[in-house]
Amino acid sequence: MTPALEIRRLTGGYSTRKPVLHDISFEILPGEMVGLIGLNGAGKSTAIKHVLGLMLPHAGEVRVAGVKLEEDRDRFRASCAYVPEQPSLFPNLTVAEHLRWTEMAYGLDPAEAERKTRKLAETFRMSHAMGALPGTLSKGMRQKVMLMNALLVSPPLLIIDEPFLGLDPLATRALIGALEDARAAGTAILLSSHILPALERRADRLVVLHQGRIVALGTPGEVKAAAGYAAPTEATLDDAFEALVLAAEEGGRPVG
């Protein structure tokens, strides 16, 4: 099975003189949900920028749906949808027009896109707001529009930054349901978040970044074991994360 995302020995960042990411490797298979966690400045956004093809590796490679950016720029980009933490929408397009724009940009089947759009609007309780411009929506509603657009595409790889921040409880529940549906349809999902309990419950695997290096990688149970909390344990992912960060800082080397 071709991984939806394959990062091999990636060293990268904003300047080759001072890389942010050091030799990181992990993959996400179709239908898998992986959580990316790390302190502020650990390198999560930088890793995502490499996956989106906004930056080129200094060394190593990034493949999305089996393709490197240099091999097929259009396929690489079309294979991934990204929802940033800060919604960014076109001020002069209504919610419905955003979804229509996405349908055209990704070459989706119009009838199927219309059916999915209607379902997404219902799921996220946005049916009443389809004719609204972004400037008249709340922040959480703007985030819902971003999520609806990404879910409409159903790409091989879906990346969401802080998925649960700013959503009301019903929207959170709707998003979880929609992500489960996307997974069942084969979409691989990468969630970058500081809200560890939410990831602990939902992610198949976690990538723990610290100072641009992977300090633990595996299921929540494996990450806890890497932090010294072997099963059965009462320790939470927050406990394990803190232990991993402290160990990496004290030892100056990766653990796990």
Ligand X SMILES: Nc1ncnc2c1ncn2[C@@H]1O[C@H](COP(=O)(O)OP(=O)(O)OP(=O)(O)O)[C@@H](O)[C@H]1O
Return the number of the residue (119 or 213) whose C-beta is nearest ligand X. 213
The residue type at 86: Q
> How far apart are CB 145 and ligand X at their closest, in Å?
22
> How far apart are CB 233 and ligand X at their closest, in Å?
26
**Residue 49, CB half-sphere, CA atoms under 13 Å: how many?**
14
Helix 139-153 × helix 169-184 angle, to 10°: 10
Name the DSSP letter for residue 230: P
Return the number of the residue (40 or 88) whose C-beta is nearest ligand X. 40
Say if CB 81 and CB 158 are below 8 A apart.
yes
> How far apart are CB 13 and ligand X at their closest, in Å?
6
x/- track of binding to ligand X for residues 37-66 (CB under 6 A):
-x-xxxxxxx--------------------
Q: Using CA atoms, how far apart are residues 52 and 232, in angstroms rounded to an integer?
A: 38
> Which token pair is 1?
């099975």
17 binds ligand X (CB under 6 A): no
Using CB under 6 A as the binding criterion, the count of chain residues that bind ligand X stands at 10
Return the number of the residue (51 or 108) whose C-beta is nearest ligand X. 51
Bridge-based pairing state of the strands 205-210 and 213-218: antiparallel
Return the number of the residue (97 or 162) whose C-beta is nearest ligand X. 162
The binding site for ligand X (CB under 6 A) comprises: 14, 20, 38, 40-46
